[in-house]
Amino acid sequence: MHNGWRYLVTLWVLVVVCACGTPPITPAAPAPTATPVNAPTTLVVWHAMGGSNEVALRDVFNQIAVRYGFRVILQRIPITTIQTDVANAFAQSQGPHIVVLSSTQLQAILSNDCCLAIDTLLAVATRDALTPQVLATVQGANQQLYGLPISYELPVLYYRMQSVLSAPSSSDDLLSIAHSLRNPPQWGLGIDLSMDSMYGYLSAFGGEIIDARGTVVLGGSGRAGSEAWLRWLTMLNNDPLLLTRLDAVFRIERTLGAGQLEMVVDSSKNHQTYTQLWGAATGIAPLPVLSITNQMPRPLLTSTVLVLNKHLSVAELVASRQLLNALISTDIQQQLLGYGLQPVNRQLSLADTPHGLAIQNAAVHAVQPHPALMRYDVYAVLRTMVRQVVVGAQSPADAITTADQQIRLLIEGSPTP
């Protein structure tokens, strides 16, 4: 009897000690949790933006947070690790509430099923303000939206109007003008022959890598056009009168900075570089029509997107919804334009912003390919294919056969159809 009472007393003491005396263990990177009562909701945002882009992000996020009464904490993550860091954190139900990524990075992590579909968070007016090309950058294979684009970029042609009076009307015209302007040390045209810059001409040649159904067609129906595209890239690389080379980014930058380059194919996000160098003489145009086929190129359009963690509280979802829809409003998009970011709201008038209007016009021809093409491993195979052909290590036919087998293995699990 006495022993029984001692046992119960001892047990009661242990319960009290465990409940009151032991501090809780806090994980290093906790998942988003509910905010204490009466405290403002806080959204932690990871990003890898620097310079004026980081300033733009901070300013508009803080402005929206003040407007709706929540807090935003921006945390900069190294650009080299942010994709992996986010994928790992989200997969463990941890990490930030929101992350700012490129649409390419988003597509790379979608297969992990760790991002929140945001279709129900977007107001009808918000979705209507976005073009199909921009929306396609954040769609998953199920057509749901897994991020909100806030700006976009694509390859365009920059030209100095003091030497080139109007935009070249075709690829033949472009090369002819470039040849005529070559007068050492002056160059007429500079292009880094990367997939990012030159993918648009693949479809103009009739080439294709992955069709709309997700089937690999590079070595089948897409072969003839793709081989022609690779031969054309090789011709450009070997032309001594053109600064069109593989891995030419830094050489082009130095030549441009020295005032020795008149036309460049480059990303639209770099427009401020050209206006600083050329001032009012800066021309911006879509990539010219391919003379061989008389087809317009369909360049890759990528966007900067906000991606949400799947594990948000109700209060965090409410604040996130307010943030997402406010970011597409015309006043916020106008501010982003002032920082040099291309706005995604097609209802915003760009009549007084020549560079913005020119980029918007170029985007009409842009395309977002099947999400599988934007996978890092698939894209790496394509970069290798281009390199092998351009440097003369493989014929276009052999390089395409090799790439087709490797991509099939990655996507379909078998190197053959």
Residues 112 and 159 in one domain: no
What HEC string does 188-232 produce? CCEEECCHHHHCHHHHHCCCCCECCCCCECCCCCCHHHHHHHHHH
pLDDT number for residue 38 = 66
In the predicted model, what is the mean pLDDT of the chain? 90
Last residue of a domain, one of 324, 340, 363: 363
Residue 29 resides in a domain = no
High-pLDDT (> 70) share of the chain, %:
91
Do 148 and 161 lie in one domain? The reply is no
Has residue 169 been placed in a domain? yes
> Are 198 and 248 members of one domain?
yes
Instruction: Give the total number of structural domains in the chain.
Output: 2
Q: For residues 53 and 78, state if they share a domain.
A: yes
| Domain at 347, CATH number | 3.40.190.10
Say if residues 320 and 147 touch (Cβ distance below 8 Å): no
Q: Which two tokens stand for residue 309?
A: 């963690």
Looking at the fold, whether 382 and 258 belong to one and the same domain comes out as yes
Same-domain pairing of 265 and 389: yes
Reported as a single tens digit per residue, the pLDDT across 198-255 is 999 999 999 999 998 889 999 999 999 999 999 999 999 999 999 999 999 999 999 9
Do residue 186 and residue 328 come from a single domain?
no
Weakest-pLDDT range from 32-36, 73-77, 223-227, 302-306: 32-36
Q: Do residues 276 and 397 share a domain?
A: yes
pLDDT at 243 (0 to 100):
98
pLDDT band at 108 (very low <50, low <70, confident <90, very high): confident
62 and 163 both lie in a single domain = no
Instruction: Please give the helix or strand (H or E) that residue 47 lies within, else none.
Output: strand 42-47
C-alpha span between 218 and 211 (Å, rounded): 9
Examine residue 34 and state whether it is found in any structural domain, yes or no.
Answer: no
8 found inside a domain: no
Collapsing DSSP states into helix, strand and coil, what is residue 285? strand
Q: How many Å apart are CA 163 and CA 319, to the nearest integer?
A: 51
Q: Quick: pLDDT tens for 373-384.
A: 888 889 999 999
C-alpha–C-alpha distance, residues 297 and 225, integer Å: 13
In a domain, residue 206? The reply is: yes
Is there a domain that residue 239 lies in?
Answer: yes
From 338, 363, 388, give the residue that closes a domain: 363
Residue 321 lies in a domain: yes
Binning pLDDT at 50, 70 and 90, where does residue 367 land?
confident
Whether residue 305 contacts residue 150, with contact meaning beta carbons closer than 8 Å, is answered with: yes
Q: What share of the chain is helix, strand, coil (3-state, %, to 5)?
A: 45, 15, 35
For residues 233 and 327, the answer to whether their CB atoms sit within 8 Å is: no
Bridge partner list, 73: 44
**Has residue 249 been placed in a domain?**
yes
Residues 234 and 292 in one domain: yes
Whether residue 221 is found in the same domain as residue 262: yes
> Which residue range(s) make up the domain with 381?
155-299+375-412
- Same domain for 223 and 117? no
Q: What percent of the chain has pLDDT over 90?
A: 81
Structural domain ending residue among the three candidates 322, 341, 363: 363
Integer Rg of the chain from CA: 26
